[in-house]
Each structure stands twice: as structure tokens, then as C-alpha cells.
Amino acid sequence: MSTGSRVLELDQAQVLDQLPVGLVTIDSDLRYTYANMEAERFAGMPRNEFVGRVIYEVFPALRGGPLEEAFTHTMTTREVSRFTLPFAPHDTWYELVAHPAADGGIVVFFHDSKRRVLQEAEVAALREQRDSTRRLYETALANTPDFVYVWGRDHKFRYANQALLDLYGVTAEECIGHGFREVGYPEWHALMHEREIDEVVRTGKPLRGTIPFYGKGGGGIYDYIFVPVFGPDGEVEAVAGTTRDVTELDRANQALKDTDRRKDEFLATLAHELRNPLAPMRSGLDLLGMENDENTRQRTVAMMERQLGQMVHLVDDLLDLSRVSRGVIELRPEPTSVNAMVELALETSRPLIERYGHTLVLELPKDDPPLLGDRTRLAQVFSNLLNNAAKYTEPGGRIALKAERKSEEVIVSVTDSGIGIEQHELGRVFDMFTRLSRGGTDTRGGLGIGLHIVKRLVEMHGGRIEVASEGALRGSTFSVTLPITAAKDQVGPMRPTTGVAKSHRILIVDDNVDAAFTLSVMLKNKGHQVHATYGGQEALDIAGTFRPEFIFMDIGMPGLDGYEACKRLRAMPALRDTRIVALTGWGQEKDRQLAREAGFNDHLVKPVPLSVIEATLMHAGS
Ligand code: ADP
């Protein structure tokens, strides 16, 4: 028995030494009581050197560490503990299992787990890296308005970003692993993309396209690019792509092209329109040079005035257009009324209406609704509409101007029996540079900017304008709706200035010699005593002795400009009662303000008709 038992003991020790794990027994005083061969190898010293010694005498690093704590824990609780610990002296990790032993101590199995720990750490790091990359891409892809997707060679979705899912109103589950038709693509669209995927797989080359399409979440014009995703063997294993909504871009592009085309047309028309009055003026001048018959001369001058008026009108429109588009038109609102405004507009338009032999019918409300607005600009609106009605109606037509009150608004409409406007063109008439095509023979002229300006002016007055027509040759109606203001102190229509012409001493200051010369000749012809000078300093030199009652002075001049000259003239006691009038190309409120500050009494915008100059002379003289 005893032999048998000894054999067994011997066998046991041999068996334990064969174990591929380290095994030590430790008693309740934390002394090693046994170590197998593998443990000896781990310890790096013969076992008789450490068996019998306290663990941290052998390995000082263990004192107070987690290993000692774990051993003590198993001894006291009698529970098995498992743990993996780094062990700095061996530069490794040990995986340990501590079992309670019968003598109150413990049996500890351990093995070097450095490789496994490292592998696990590597896997965890890789996983984290993958997750973080995925989070990154997911966030980027889910938040782009572009559609991003990947298809397998089998045409099935392998990925679709949120924007695409939203467009088709499907969840990721309903999309991934499914084909186009299941996601909701129409048949033609599915077929097209399937063919394209096959092409990318076959050629290994990217492919681009543009397509109009509509899903549940909306649609438009889309630009897309499909690219091959190559597998490790160099074969295309999937096709990835992005699609961008270019509807807005497309629209903006189209609009730009349209504007550009219309601008070109406009420039051609402008050149043509400016040339038109020039030819008769040129021949008028020749005629004046050779003609002595007073009657013919007067008719020629009248004709030239008309043509010049036409040019001034064109240039005024152009200036207005540029101000309107830059939003710098300034309104000078004052209390007025519908009738006053219509009266003013008719002053301008009646000659044209009469020239075409149209019948004009007026229907105005008796109570004359009050308006608050820039009278000149409002009159411009209606004279423009009336002129158009006259122009775009065959001679002998009918034009009706009707104003009607509707609660707090007044609707003023101009209806003609003219050439009308096709239904599909109605929307365009207020666009800049729009001239509706009437075939090549239309000689009505026009730059296609009037209605654009009209619309902006109406809107600036808090109103709106609409157009209606039953179609070609069925006439047109333009209706302007304006808010009525409860202005109490109405200003009546402007009274023409009256007075008896008398002779004045007038000084003209303008660096444009021709302009100064013509004005001085005209005023001399009217019996005034006139002196023309061509610069600010010259004016100062002469003013003291000439003592003009009126000075008409240009603002922009080299050397001493109009503002500075005016300030100095104002300082001369001899000119205390002189009226100084600015003649300038700049008519905005800030220009008027500057002129006032410099000491000008009046501010006239060029070109100034003689009648206005005369009115200024009379107004001041009376
Ligand atoms: P235009 O100087 O060419 O008259 P507008 O801006 O005033 O420019 O008008 C734009 C276009 O609208 C015109 O060229 C014309 O084709 C059309 N139009 C304007 N008024 C009328 C109208 N009363 N009847 C028919 N067509 C009109």
C-alpha cells in the first residue's frame, strides 16, 4: 500500500511537472510550499530557492499588489478567483486561477497569456478603429444632402445613406439587400441603373449622368457618378456612387442664360432705338444749316425736339432701370389722389393716344381716393401703361382707364383693344428686357424695360400689378392696386406757373462749352442779359462785377466744382439776393441735399428744357 502510495506520489509529482501550466501551492502565511517544473521555469530560479519563502520576498513587486490581494481573498472566502495580471518583472501578463486548499492555503495555476492579451487588445483596438471610422462616415454620409449608395454586382443595395432612404420613404432594412424596384424606382429608372452598374463592372471605369427623377420625398434634376469598387483580386466587386440634386443650379443656369440672351437682344434693340432718332436729327441739322424758310425751320426744330424727347425718354428709362435694379430709386412721397395722378399721366400720354387715333374712355370714382405717393413716379406708372396701350393697339382702337375703390384699396386698370398677349407669355411681361415676339415686322419700338420699372415702382408704393389678356388680338388689361391713405390735407393738381417775362442778368457756369453756349444763346434770344463762363474760378472772377440775379451752374467741373464755387459765391455780399440753380446729371435726394448745403436755391436735372428754366426765372421773379 505504502509502496503503491509512494508510487502514486511520485507519479503525481512527475505528472505535475509535465503540466504545461505553472502550479504553486501557497500556505496561509503566503509562503510557497510547492512549485512544479513550469513554475520553476517561470520563476527563472530552481524551486528550492523559493519554496519555503514568502511570495514577496521572492518577488518584491508582489507586495501589496492585486495578486497578494487576490490570494488573500481566496484564502479568506474560500472562493476560486480568476484573473489576468501584468507582471512587470517578466514583462508579461499571467492568467491565474487560485483554488482554496485544504490546509487553509491555496493552489495556484498560471500561464503566460501575453500573446492572448495582446491579441485581444489588438482586436479591441481594431474594432474601435473600425467603429470610429464607421461612425465618421455614417455621420458624414447621413448628413450630406447628396445621395450616397453602394450596389453589389447583383444590382442589390449594399448601402444607402439617409438622404436616399428619405427620397424613397424606406428604412435601411427595406432597402439594403433589395433591388431597385423593391425600393420604389420606376421600371425605366431601375433598368437604366442596372445597365449602368453592369457597364461599370465590365469596364472598371466610372460613369456620369444627369437625370430628372421623382421619388416619394420629392425630386428634380440629378447629377450622378458611379465608380467601381475593386476587390483584392482586381475585379469590380461593387459599384458605389453619389447623386447630387442640381435642380436649383440648373434653374439658375437656365435663368442666367435667358438673362444673358435677353441682355444681348436688349443691347441690339438699344443701339437700334438710339439710332432711330439720331438719323432725323442729323438731317434736321443739315436742313437748318441750309434752309432759310422760317416755316420749314420751325417744323424742323419741332421735329428735332420730338426726336430728342424720344432719346431723353430712352435714357431716362435706362437710368431708372439701373436704379431699380440696384434698389436705389428714392421716392418722394406726398399726399396726392387718384384723379390728380391720372391727370398728370394723361398729360404725357394723350399726344400718343391721339396720334394713333384711339378713343380714350375714363371712368374715375367721384370721391377721388387719396393716395400717399411719389406723384411723378405714379404718373410715370400710368403713362407707361397708357403708352403701351396706345402702342400695342392698331390705330383707331379703344383704351379705357378705370379706377375703382375696393375697401382700403384702389384698383386702376388700363384696358386696350389691341394685339393682346398670349396666355403663356403673360408671366414674362414684367421681366427685364422682355419684348414679346410679333414677327419681324413690328416697328413699335421699345426696350422691354418699361413694365419692369412699372412693377418695381408699384411695389415700392405698397401695391401690386397684374396683367390679363384673352390672347392674341383680344386686347390686354393691366391693373394696378394701390393702398388708399386717409390723407386729410390733399394737395390739388399743380398749377402752371404764370407771370410776365422780364429781363434778368444771368450767369451760366458749365465746363461743357456747347451746353453753356446753347443755353446762353437761348436765354439771350428771350431778352435776358447773359454771361457764359466755363469754370468755377472764372465765375467767381466775374460775378462780383456782373452781379447776376440768377446763376445756372453745373456741379461736376474740373478745378473748382459747383459745390465749392457756390459756397464761395454765397460768401460774396454783392450776391446776397442771387438765386443759384444747380444744373446737373445727378438727381437723387442725396445730391439735392448736397446742393442745398452748398447754398444752391434750386436743383434741376439735365437735360433741362428751356420752359423749365423760364419757369424758374418767373417763379423767383414773382
Ligand atoms: P416696351 O418698351 O418694349 O414696350 P415694356 O416693358 O413696356 O417694354 O413691355 C414689354 C412687352 O410687353 C412689350 O414689348 C410688349 O410685347 C408687351 N406689352 C406691353 N404692354 C402691352 C399691351 N398693352 N398689349 C400687348 N402687349 C403689351
User: Is residue 555 within 8 Å of residue 595, measured between CB atoms?
Assistant: yes
Q: Which residue has the higher pLDDT, 619 or 355?
A: 355
| Minimum CA distance residue for ligand 1 atom 25 | 420
Output the ligand 1 site: residues, CB below 6 A. 388-389, 392, 416, 418-421, 429, 434-436, 446-452, 476
Q: Is 491's pLDDT higher than 60?
A: no
Report the separation in Å between the CA atom of 605 and the middle of ligand 1, taken as the mean of its atom positions.
Answer: 28
Ligand 1 atom with minimal separation from the 449 CA: 6
Tell me which of 487 and 525 has the higher pLDDT.
525
Residue 361: enclosing H or E segment and its boundaries?
Answer: strand 359-363
pTM of the predicted model as reported, rounded to 2 decimal places:
0.50
User: Of 224, 227, 228, which Cα lies nearest the Cα of 243?
Assistant: 224
Q: What is the pLDDT of residues 507-524, one digit of tens each?
A: 999 988 888 888 888 888
pLDDT exceeds 70 at position 489: no
Whole-number CA gyration radius for the chain: 49
For residue 447, the ligand 1 atom closest to its alpha carbon is 2
The pLDDT assigned to 588 comes to 74
Which of the 8 DSSP states describes residue 29?
A: T
Beta-bridge partners for 398: 359
Gap from CA of 242 to ligand 1 centroid (Å): 46
Report helix, strand or coil for 158. strand
What the block records as the C-alpha cell of 207 is 460613369
- Report the pLDDT averaged over residues 333-352: 89
Phi-psi label, residue 436: left if phi above 0, alpha if psi -120 to 50, beta otherwise: beta
- Average pLDDT for the chain: 86
Q: How far, in Å, is the centroid of ligand 1 from the Cα of 336?
A: 27
How many angstroms separate the CA atoms of 319 and 333, rounded?
20
* Alpha helical stretches, state H, 492-576: 513-525, 536-546, 562-570
Atom of ligand 1 nearest to the CA of 438: 16
Angle at 217 between CA 216 and CA 220, to 5 degrees: 100
**b/e code 564-587 from CB counts within 10 Å (16+ = b):** bbbebbeeeeebeebbbbbbbeee
Rounded Cα–Cα distance for residues 507 and 103 (Å): 132
Give the residue from 59, 51, 58, 84 showing the smallest Cα distance to 70: 84
Torsion on CA atoms 373, 375, 380, 383, rounded to nearest 10: 110
The conformational region for residue 169 under phi > 0 = left, psi -120 to 50 = alpha, else beta, is left
Ligand 1 pocket: which of 429, 447, 449 to mutate (most atoms within 8 A of CB):
429
Q: How many CB atoms lie within 10 A of CB 370?
A: 18
Ligand 1 atom 10, closest CA? 448
User: In this predicted model, which residue has the larger pLDDT, 9 or 306?
Assistant: 306
Higher pLDDT, 461 or 618: 461
* Identity of residue 264: D
